[in-house]
Amino acid sequence: MGDNNQQETQKTEEDLVDAATLEQEMKNTQSDTQEAEGIETEEQSEVEIALEKAEAKANENWDKFVRLQAEMDNLRRRNEKQVEDAHKYALKGFIDDLLPVVDSLEMGRQAEGDLDKIREGMDLTLKQFLAVLERQKVIAVSPEGDDFDPDLHQAVAMVPSPDHEDNKVINVMQKGYTINGRLIRPAMVAVCKN
């Protein structure tokens, strides 16, 4: 019976060692689980912080976009208004220059007396008018004696002339005009054709 007791004692001791080992393993497992949960909580916290930062940056960018869009709309409206005003008042400077010419013509209509003095007044008014055109960059095209240029002249007659070369303008019936180098009206001319 002593062997039996000894075996039972040994078995009990082994069971106690196994139980202690099992208990230790459970504690280790719980500790590992708590560490893993702590790491997961830490990782979740970092993810949440990163998400909050991303949302804040997205909100900031959205605010910038909305402000920029409003600024662009205001700029577009301002530009449209400036273009509209430019079209409305583009001729204001030209009209301001022409008003003295109109005044001079009205005074000329009321003039009485010598025909030479009336012509002198008309000449002064014409000079005033031509000065206005020159200030506005309107240039007369009077090509008498020049070569015929179809871009600036309109031939209304071909006239033989022994005194002129072919394709020379020999008579200007009506002056042409350009503004800033762009043709407004071609000069009506007679061209030599021998």
Question: Which residue, among 169, 161, 94, has the nearest Cα to 132 in the 3D structure?
Answer: 94
Question: Could you identify the residue written with the tokens 């010598």?
Answer: 114
Find the domain containing 185 and state its range.
140-194
What are the per-10-residue average pLDDT scores of the chain (194 residues)?
Answer: 61 66 72 64 81 94 96 97 89 87 87 84 91 91 89 92 89 92 93 88
Q: Following DSSP, what letter does each residue of 16-77 receive, concatenated?
A: HHHHHHHHHHHHHHHHHHHHHHHHHHHHHHHHHHHHHHHHHHHHHHHHHHHHHHHHHHHHHH
Helix 115-135 vs helix 92-110: angle between axes, to the nearest 10 degrees? Answer: 180
The DSSP bridge partners found for residue 140 are 177
Residue 36: the pLDDT is 61
What is the Cα–Cα distance from 188 to 194, expressed in whole angstroms? Answer: 19
Residue 142: the pLDDT is 85
Residue 26: the pLDDT is 73
Among 121, 136, 151, identify where a domain stops: 136
Give the global pTM: 0.53
Tens of pLDDT, residue by residue over 60-92, are 999 999 999 999 999 999 999 999 998 888 888
Task: Please indicate, yes or no, whether residues 99 and 162 belong to a single structural domain of this protein.
Answer: no
> Can you give the CATH number for the domain in which 167 is found?
2.30.22.10
Number of separate domains in the chain? 3
Among 55, 88, 121, identify where a domain stops: 88
